[in-house]
Amino acid sequence: MLAFPFTPQLIIRVISVLLVVLIVVLFSHDTTLLVFFALALGHITMAFLYQRDAKKWNQTKLILAILGFAALAVFCNLYTTLGFIAANIAFVFHMLWDEVHLFNKKTSLVRTLEMLPFLVLWGSIFIHAASRSNFFFEAYGIAVLCVVVRLLLAFQKQYAMDVATYVLGGWTLLALGGTLIVQHVGLLVPASVWFFGLVTVHFFIWYGDYYRRVAPNIERRYTYIRRTLITNGISGLLAIIFAVTSAPIFLIFFSIGFANAWSLLHILTSIRFATLRGSLGISS
């Protein structure tokens, strides 16, 4: 039997989901989104700092990122629905790839198969939100088919299930729960709250898992804590100023169109090409 070695990681994920649910319950939809956007700004800044430390940024990449953000911002604000869909699909893979990475496993075509149930179930929520049409039963069918195929593959030794399989299965169960709620009760909150709520769960998981990674090293631990407090403190302060003043300049950080653009930029600048190749079944 597979041991259960990821109890601390599991606790981090449960707490992350509960924190996001608590934010949604406590605040209005607009305030909830503002909190999510502030946390996004802090996370993206943290990711940039650690990528810079790893020497993954140079002048050329920075210029391309600025130009890319300008293009994405125009696209996401002119075509808000398409921008939202693009950010949603890209983020799902980004988050699930990160989950595989955080558990020190690799991507593959079989791993992509393990991700598909979450993608189709999660997607059915937004198809319903956009058109009020029901894709739920089709999503359930596709998800079940993927699970059955994966279970059959598990009989072959090279496709044995591992810890990442169960983690991705857990995400599928979460998406299933969300889908059932939307199907039988309704959206309850705007689609943007669903999406950026999931994004914020990812942020909390990243903070928790990265802390566990750096904690044994005192210097790295204090650097991490200091950066987390400073980046989120600054983004939180900007969010408060925006809430009080409604100054339009802050919309670049705290509006759905720009948030989609920031999300896509972050995902594009964080891609591990070995992960992408593995997901497509391409040998490195």
pLDDT tens string 113-161: 999 999 999 999 999 988 877 889 999 999 999 999 999 999 999 999 9
For residue 156, give the DSSP letter: S
Which element (helix H / strand E) includes 187? Answer: none
Q: Is 133 strand, coil or helix? A: coil
Check whether 238 has a pLDDT greater than 50.
Answer: yes
Q: What percent of the chain has pLDDT over 70?
A: 97
Tokens at 230, concatenated: 């400073």
Check whether 4 has a pLDDT greater than 60.
Answer: no
**What's the farthest any 2 CA atoms get from each other in the chain?**
61
Which pLDDT belongs to residue 1? 42
State how far the Cα of 121 lies from the Cα of 46, in Å rounded to an integer: 30
Residues 128, 136 contacting (CB under 8 angstroms): yes
pTM of the model as a whole: 0.91
Count Cβ neighbours within 10 Å for each residue of 60-74 and write b for 16 or more, e otherwise. Answer: eeeeebeebbeebbe
State how far the Cα of 104 lies from the Cα of 9, in Å rounded to an integer: 12
Classify the C-alpha dihedral 115-56-58-200 as positive or negative: positive
Check whether 42 has a pLDDT greater than 60.
Answer: yes
Question: What type of residue sits at position 154?
Answer: A
Check whether 5 has a pLDDT greater than 70.
Answer: no
Check whether 250 has a pLDDT greater than 60.
Answer: yes
